[in-house]
């Protein structure tokens, strides 16, 4: 990745540094409904820096070719870039080996892969999979399906009215029939940050493997899968400034080695006859067909970008943003924040008394402010708070400014006034 002028601007102060960050994102110069774009839908997808756009474009313009097994120069160059991206992911999440990094279409496919390739062969009637009440649908539905296929049972660890996992209740539900725990690192609907190291330790004390949904964590805080000691960690590139359609399943090698492929076909086989097939070793046995080569290259560029900016700086700035937004809308009568965990990421869900979330979103959009409205693919969490229509959700990123937060707060105030 080409070096951006971040280090030089740090000496000039946080304002200059922030301006440098923002300049890397072309879409942030857009106008919506005649107003400058204020993009606060980062939990759904993050915007892409020019370095990522250029990396994807460069692949197609300069060395587009299929990877692996090709002897010609373009194929070798594409293969080198693709496998270098795998190593970059390994380094970013501190995995033990590049062989523990599997490229998939996104966190959803990664969960499904583990459900079908790891959990399903091991489950029998009466076994249990433990999830929490704050999970994204993608970390619920695959487990429901595998439970229907095997006769296993889905068990739910409850949350409190702040949106925090009740650890004592979680521990109480770790039983002799629990075969897997699947929990989110950060709630996409509430912003709650779970104590994953503690969650894993409690499960591992009973020999129970743990999958962590890291989709909302990967761009906002350091992730060290060896320190967390989780068995599987999943995330999507598009929530970390990378392309859509590419994601990562990290699995401990000793787990992956025991798993048969979920999808089969080209490039994941070593040899094929009409009598039998020999699969490639991990990670390639889980990557059937032509992979998203440009996506992996774009993801590597995105992780390089995040490393240059620094997750420490990202976290500090996002903390300022969410604190300012929380204080601002907290002063507006009739507005209620949903999700008030003590440890919280840069996600702010809220409702206005008597106003449908979609109406809030439309009013904000008229001012050029993009937020997400609805159940956020977390219907069980919304039901916990008795919110049939869901919430409006502002999700902040390091390229947002305090001025944009103030515009957002004023937009919420206007929405409240319109429907008084």
Helix (H/G/I), strand (E/B), else coil: 201: helix
Per-residue confidence (pLDDT) for residue 11, from 0 to 100: 39
Task: For the chain, state the CA radius of gyration.
Answer: 22
Per-residue confidence (pLDDT) for residue 16, from 0 to 100: 52
How many whole angstroms separate alpha carbon 250 and alpha carbon 299? 15
**What is the CB neighbour count within 10 angstroms for residue 11?**
8
% of the chain surpassing 90 pLDDT: 93
Annotation says 377 is catalytic: yes
Average per-residue pLDDT in the chain?
Answer: 95
Which tokens in the block code for residue 327? 């204080």
Residue-wise DSSP of 331-351: TSTTEEEE---SSB-SEEEEE
The active-site residue out of 17, 230, 240, 377 is 377
Which tokens in the block code for residue 201? 């330790």
Q: Write the burial class of residue 238 (CB in 10 Å: 0-12 exposed, 13-18 middle, 19+ buried).
A: buried
Q: Write the burial class of residue 146 (CB in 10 Å: 0-12 exposed, 13-18 middle, 19+ buried).
A: buried
Residue-wise DSSP of 60-111: HHH-----SS--SHHHHHHHHHHHHHHHHHHHHHT-S-GGGEEEESSHHHHH
Q: Do 34 and 9 contact (CB within 8 A), yes or no?
A: no
pLDDT band at residue 361 using 50, 70 and 90 as cut-offs: very high
How many whole angstroms separate alpha carbon 387 and alpha carbon 391? 7
How many whole angstroms separate alpha carbon 332 and alpha carbon 419? 13
Q: Give 116's DSSP letter.
A: I
Per-residue confidence (pLDDT) for residue 343, from 0 to 100: 98
Q: Do 110 and 136 contact (CB within 8 A), yes or no?
A: no
Per-residue confidence (pLDDT) for residue 420, from 0 to 100: 80
Phi, psi at 414, each rounded to 5°: -65, -45
pLDDT in tens, 120-165: 999 999 999 999 999 999 999 999 999 999 999 999 999 999 999 9
Residue 13 has pLDDT above 60, yes or no: no
pLDDT band at residue 316 using 50, 70 and 90 as cut-offs: very high
Per-residue confidence (pLDDT) for residue 263, from 0 to 100: 93
Residue 14 has pLDDT above 80, yes or no: no
pLDDT band at residue 8 using 50, 70 and 90 as cut-offs: very low
pLDDT in tens, 27-81: 999 999 999 999 999 999 999 999 999 999 999 999 999 999 889 999 999 999 9
Residue in 252, 245, 262, 233 with CA at minimum distance from that of residue 115? 262
Give, in order, the Cα–Cα distances in Å from 384 to each of 159, 163, 195, 342. Answer: 8, 9, 21, 18
pLDDT band at residue 267 using 50, 70 and 90 as cut-offs: confident
Per-residue confidence (pLDDT) for residue 10, from 0 to 100: 40
pLDDT in tens, 183-235: 999 999 999 999 999 999 999 999 999 999 999 999 999 999 999 999 999 99
Higher-pLDDT residue of 366 and 20 is 366
Segments of 142-218 assigned E as strands: 153-157, 178-184, 210-213
Per-residue confidence (pLDDT) for residue 2, from 0 to 100: 40
Q: Do 306 and 314 contact (CB within 8 A), yes or no?
A: yes
Domains and CATH numbers, the chain: 6-45+310-414 (3.90.1150.10), 54-307 (3.40.640.10)
């Amino acid at each position: 990745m080409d070096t951006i002028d971040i280090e030089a601007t740090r000496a000039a102060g946080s304002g200059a540094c922030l301006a440098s960050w923002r300049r890397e994102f072309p879409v942030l110069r857009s106008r919506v409904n005649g107003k400058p774009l204020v993009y606060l839908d980062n939990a759904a997808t993050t915007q892409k820096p020019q370095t990522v756009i250029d990396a994807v474009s460069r692949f197609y313009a300069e060395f587009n070719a299929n990877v692996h097994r090709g002897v010609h120069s373009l194929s070798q160059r594409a293969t080198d870039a693709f496998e270098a991206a795998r190593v970059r992911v390994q380094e970013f999440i501190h995995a033990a080996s590049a062989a523990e990094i599997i490229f998939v279409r996104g966190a959803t496919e990664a969960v499904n892969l583990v459900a079908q390739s790891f959990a399903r062969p091991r489950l029998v009637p009466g076994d249990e999979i433990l999830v929490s009440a704050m999970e994204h649908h993608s970390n619920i539905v695959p487990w429901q399906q595998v439970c229907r296929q095997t006769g296993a049972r889905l068990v739910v660890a409850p949350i409190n009215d702040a949106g925090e996992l009740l650890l004592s209740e979680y521990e109480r539900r770790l039983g002799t029939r629990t075969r897997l725990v699947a929990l989110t690192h950060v709630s996409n609907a509430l912003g709650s940050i779970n104590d994953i190291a503690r969650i894993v330790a409690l499960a591992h004390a009973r020999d129970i493997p743990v999958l962590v949904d890291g989709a909302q964590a990967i761009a906002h805080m350091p992730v060290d899968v060896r320190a967390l000691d989780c068995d599987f960690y999943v995330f999507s590139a598009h929530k970390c400034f990378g392309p859509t359609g590419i994601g990562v399943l990290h699995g401990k090698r000793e787990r992956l080695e025991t798993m048969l492929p979920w999808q089969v076909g080209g490039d994941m086989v070593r040899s094929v006859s009409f009598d039998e097939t020999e699969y490639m070793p991990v990670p390639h046995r889980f990557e059937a067909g032509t992979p998203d080569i440009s996506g992996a290259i774009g993801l590597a560029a995105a992780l390089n970008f995040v490393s240059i900016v620094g997750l420490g700086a990202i976290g500090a700035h996002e903390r300022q943003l969410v604190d300012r937004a929380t204080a601002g809308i907290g002063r507006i009568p009739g507005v209620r924040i949903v999700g008030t965990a003590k440890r919280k990421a840069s996600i702010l869900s809220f409702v206005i008394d008597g106003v449908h979330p979609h109406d809030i979103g439309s009013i904000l959009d008229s001012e050029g402010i993009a937020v997400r409205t609805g159940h956020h693919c977390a219907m069980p969490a919304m039901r916990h708070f008795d919110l049939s229509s869901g919430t409006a959700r502002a999700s902040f990123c390091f390229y947002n400014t305090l001025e944009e937060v103030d515009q957002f707060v004023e937009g919420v105030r206007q929405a409240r006034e319109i429907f008084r």
